[in-house]
Amino acid sequence: MRELDYEKLASKITDWIRDYVISAGANGVILGLSGGIDSATTAVLSVKALGKENVISMGLPIETLPQDLEDGKFVADHLGIKFVICDLTSAYKDFLKVLPSGTDSNQLAMANVKPRLRMATLYFMAQSMGYLVIGTGNRTELAIGYFTKYGDLGIIDEFLH
């Protein structure tokens, strides 16, 4: 296993976030915050890079366990950042209702709609406020293909290419 200098790596990432936001002329970043390790780490690095006043987090439940929303709020409160809740469950159910008969039996397709709705919401909010969406995925997910294209992959793809 390779040795990593975590402080140096964190500094490099925060510098990159700060420089990217400044070069884009954005007001800050917005992210989906579930309270899991990936989104919590992204939130911490974003706050270090931009300050808590320039980071907005969102809880975007879709038929989600209440604990997930509580975890996200806990992290946001700990960091002192805004936490906006936008329950997308009804949008998800309405979307499935308008699909042609029989297409709602594909469980994978139905599951992939959720991260795409979340990403569309994040981009809408970001554009409305002059912010950038910052992704919360990781290289392992990309390497094994555990992501939804144009959903939770929305930002990773831009960063790696």
Strand order in the sheet with 55-59: 82-85, 55-59, 29-32, 132-133
Of 68, 87, 141, 157, the active-site residue reads 141
Question: Is-catalytic flag, 141?
Answer: yes
3-state DSSP assignment of residue 96:
helix
The CA distances from residue 46 to 21, 62, 108, in Å, are 10, 25, 32
Kindly report the backbone phi and psi dihedral angles of residue 82, in degrees, each rounded to the nearest multiple of 5, phi listed first.
Answer: -65, 140
Establish whether 38 is a catalytic residue.
Answer: yes
Q: Are 34 and 72 in contact (CB under 8 A)?
A: yes
**Cα(156)–Cα(134) distance, integer angstroms:** 9
Active-site hit among 38, 104, 152, 158? 38
Strand-pairing partners, residue 85, are 59
The first and second tokens of residue 4, run together, are 């990593």
Q: Which residues are catalytic?
A: 38, 141
